[in-house]
Structure 1
Amino acid sequence: MPLPRLSVTPDVSHGPLDGAWWPRCDALELELPALVGSLDPAVGTVIRVTVDTASWPDAPQTVLAPGHVIEVSLTGLAAEAHAITLDCGTVGRWELLVIPPDEPAGAASRLLTAAADPENPLSAPRILALAENGLDGEATWESEGGPGLR
């Protein structure tokens, strides 16, 4: 598998997101092993992920990753839409925006950068809504404390 398209917040996140991930397809069992394999070993072993049913309608209950099995939990909560939570047991949890696989490269690049900004105050559903509605970041994101999306 090619390296995942991933951007994470340097050091410690100060917002609701710790970065963003742009998978190539919606097959979690194909995408997740590359994602967890690309994370810094200091993050720890990802033992469980939580994904939303809208983004991953056919997600399996477990995914095989190099050397271990990852439990997959599904959620239907709107507040967790377009996000993946990586649970590393006692080491911590990371929340990533999941950029839809069919997102144009330019928009995905802006979302990868914006979600990894340590000052980002926006949740995954909110940041995607701003981008999808074509709202000017000057009038939206900056008013919420961060750089523009456009």
Structure 2
Amino acid sequence: MTATMLDKPAVEDRTSSLPLRLILAPAGAAPALIDGAWWPRSRDLTAELPSLTALLDPLWGRITRVTVNPTFWPVIPRKVPVAGHVVHVGWFKAEQDPHKLLLLSYTTGRWDLLVIPPETGPATAARLMAAATDPSQCLTASGLIQEAELFRIAAEADWDSTRETVWDSEGGHDTRRPTSRTPAGAVIDHVATPAKGM
């Protein structure tokens, strides 16, 4: 087996070769708080926005402006060059949900996408994508993220409980009688129970 070591790390544009992780609400669906979900691969808007807008431009009209909440985006460029035009990027801290991306097109209108954190596991991301495009859903972007986190915690607790049950059923539990933790000769005070009528 041979290993090749590079003096400099290879730099590649990971986002252009990988498929875009995006789901949109069905056309003609009732207006909702969220129009779809986007699961970027990083928190780099300069790298992530070109592929997103390239896909959305033919569907929604040329995307000219994007706004984010800076809470989860470490660098917010003022402009991002995309295929044939420039997208202006702005931010609103208090006015915009931190888990939402707002896209504007001069010709068609506005869309709100849930931004699934890049580090999210595939199962949770799939659940969030389904919830974001569910026409009966009435949660905000942050509400969807909180709901998914509660579901994940409950699933982990259930998984731990299941593993413990399997462990016990396979003989993993300690069948010996627990030993006393009280040192020999120690005196344990008991609180007297109050007499009736006191």
User: Under a length normalisation based on structure 2, what TM-score does the superposition of the two structures give?
Assistant: 0.65
SS at match of 1:133: helix
Greater relative contact order structure (CA < 8 Å, 6+ sep): 1
Match of 1:57, SS state, is coil
Q: Which moved more, 1:58-67 or 1:34-43?
A: 34-43
Cα distance change, pair 127–70 in 1 and its aligned pair in 2 (3 A): same
Distance 1:63 1:50 in 2: 12
Q: Secondary structure at the match of 1:110?
A: helix
Is there any run of 5+ residues in structure 2 with no aligned partner, and where?
1-15, 155-198
Query: Does the Cα contact within 8 Å between 1:19 and 1:112 map onto a contact in 2?
Result: yes
Structure ID, larger Rg: 2
Alignment check: 8 A CA contact 2:65 2:90 kept: yes
Give the aligned length. Answer: 136
Percent identity for Structure 1 against Structure 2: 40
Task: Give the deviation of 1:99 after TM superposition.
Answer: 0.2
**C-alpha distance in structure 2 between counterparts of 1:113 and 1:40, whole Å:** 23
> In 1, are the aligned partners of 2:68 and 2:96 still within 8 Å (CA)?
no
Higher helix share: 2
| Preserved CA contact (<8 Å) 1:14 1:119 | no
Does residue 100 of the first structure (1) align with residue 117 of the second (2)? yes
After superposing on structure 2, the runs of 4+ consecutive aligned residues of structure 1 that deviate more than 2 Å are 133-136
| Matching of residue 70 in structure 1 with residue 87 in structure 2 | yes
Which residue of structure 1 lines up, in the alignment, with residue 37 of structure 2? Answer: 20
TM-score of the pair, normalised by structure 1: 0.84
CA offsets 1:80-113 (integer angstroms, 9 cap, x no match)? 2110011011311110000000000100011011
The structure where strand makes up a greater share of residues is 1
